[in-house]
Amino acid sequence: MAKTKTTTNKAKNKNKGIRSGTGTGSRAVAEAMPRSLASQLVRAEDLIDEEEWEEAETILRGIDRRYPNRAVVLTHLLNLAYDRKDNEGYLDVAERLVRLTPADPDLTWGLAAAYMLNRFLASALRTYRRFLERWPGHERAAEARDVAQDLETMLAEALPALGLEGDDALEIAEQHERIQLLSRRSRWAEARQLAERVLARKPDFTAVLNNLSQTYAAEGRFDEAIAAAERVAALDADNIHALANLVRYHYMNGEVAEARQWAERLKATPSDNADLWMKTAEALTYLRDDEGVLAALRGAEKAGDKAGKRDLFTYGGLLYHLAAVAALRLGREAEARRLWRRALDAALALDIARDNLSDLSKPVGERHAPWPFPPGALGPPAGHRRSRGPIRGVSAAGTG
């Protein structure tokens, strides 16, 4: 992932990029926009230089909604995501920029790197291969070949472990990653339809069955979500994603006793999967098992340090946020503050951590913290059966 240089009317712009001349520059944009919006773009540039990133993003998102697919606006959003260590946001904007300017090799290179950072390895390999096919003489071609070779080696081991073999294995793996991306963007109907098409080809593909259960839950179809997740658990008794999902689905369906039973099974499941700790913390957060959440953080830190990849095991700061929520629920405010700061050190764009920490600056009687998930994600109080209907923010962690 890298910053991309924009052609602007400001010599002081500090962005150092992977290419020059993205878009038409602020002056050219001004000719095609009302003066008030063009001045907002220049204001956003000032804010970026001053590292006032949240206000800059608010302005740029507003311009983007009014005038979508302007390269100069998207480039600023890309660089904001880079500055804020927002890997998800960087990927979202990079995909849009590559669709807008597919003939740009440096943007294609940046998109491949973004897939890597988001752990979409099949998509990354496909993008590096496309880069090499189109620009074999590029100055970074040798590096792209090395990375592609490494990815091929990794996927040759990883895909059979997922039950994917044969000529279509890489294609199905990439479709699985696309389902995850669609889900992350709350495009639930599209994600469900693609999952159904994949399962028509590979009926026992447990990762996509987990994805399908997520789409059902997002649409308020909890009985179907539970059935899909239980099918995964029947195929793979130690599938941590299915076990954690079953905790959440039963809780959101008002079946707390069943949720607690699945939680005990999840906590007893041995696994060296980096997702174990995040999925456990997420599930236990629903049940307010705060000591269990803090134990999951300690487990993630220990496993991450052993592997030399603490950021991977703590989900780039998100696990620190859930641990901070748990600490504050236990009345340990100083610990909660420290953990939210750790979350933001790892991911500046983790707004839910920033909002919780900011809330603690208010007088005690005016505070609302802690809240672990976006509004609408936690489901009903214990004992209440949720009415049918779509929800938002079903899961903090991916399904696999």
> Is pLDDT larger for residue 386 or for residue 267?
267
Per-residue confidence at 4, pLDDT binned at 50, 70, 90?
A: low
Residue 2 is assigned to a structural domain of this protein: no
Examine the domain organization and report whether 242 and 337 are in the same domain: yes
Examine the domain organization and report whether 194 and 232 are in the same domain: yes
Examine the domain organization and report whether 149 and 178 are in the same domain: no
Examine the domain organization and report whether 149 and 214 are in the same domain: no
Examine the domain organization and report whether 120 and 202 are in the same domain: no
Largest CA distance in the chain: 64
Examine the domain organization and report whether 194 and 261 are in the same domain: yes
Q: DSSP characters for 307-357?
A: HT-HHHHTGGGHHHHHHHHHHHHTT-HHHHHHHHHHHHHH-TT-HHHHHHH
Examine the domain organization and report whether 132 and 238 are in the same domain: no
Residue 19 is assigned to a structural domain of this protein: no
- Residues 331 and 69 sit within 8 Å (Cβ to Cβ): no
pLDDT at 376: 62
Examine the domain organization and report whether 311 and 348 are in the same domain: yes
Using one digit for the tens of pLDDT, what is the confidence trace for 78-94? 989 998 888 999 999 99
Examine the domain organization and report whether 288 and 307 are in the same domain: yes
Residue 20, pLDDT > 60, answer no
Residue 383 is assigned to a structural domain of this protein: no
Which residue among 129, 161, 193 closes a domain?
Answer: 161
Please provide the distance, in angstroms rounded to a whole number, between the alpha carbons at the two ends of the chain: 24
Examine the domain organization and report whether 251 and 151 are in the same domain: no
Examine the domain organization and report whether 318 and 184 are in the same domain: yes
- Total count of domains within the chain: 2
**Structural domain containing residue 32:** 25-161
Mean pLDDT of 208-235: 97
Strand partners, 22: 6
Residue 77 is assigned to a structural domain of this protein: yes
Alpha helices in the chain (DSSP H): 25-32, 35-49, 53-66, 71-83, 87-100, 105-117, 121-134, 141-161, 169-184, 188-201, 206-218, 222-235, 240-252, 256-267, 276-286, 290-307, 310-313, 318-329, 333-346, 351-359
Q: Which two tokens stand for residue 373?
A: 């998930």
Instruction: Return d(Cα 235, Cα 380) in angstroms, integer.
Output: 30
Using one digit for the tens of pLDDT, what is the confidence trace for 157-206? 999 998 999 999 999 999 999 999 999 999 999 999 999 999 999 999 99
Residue 392, pLDDT > 70, answer no
Examine the domain organization and report whether 147 and 262 are in the same domain: no
Per-residue confidence at 319, pLDDT binned at 50, 70, 90?
A: very high
CA angle 272, 279, 246 (to 5 degrees): 115
Residue 287, pLDDT > 60, answer yes
The CATH number that applies at residue 137 is: 1.25.40.10
Mean pLDDT of 274-297: 95
Q: DSSP characters for 197-222?
A: HHHHH-TT-HHHHHHHHHHHHHTT-H
Residue 135 is assigned to a structural domain of this protein: yes
Comparing CA positions, the residue from 197, 195, 250, 207 lying closest to residue 227 is 250
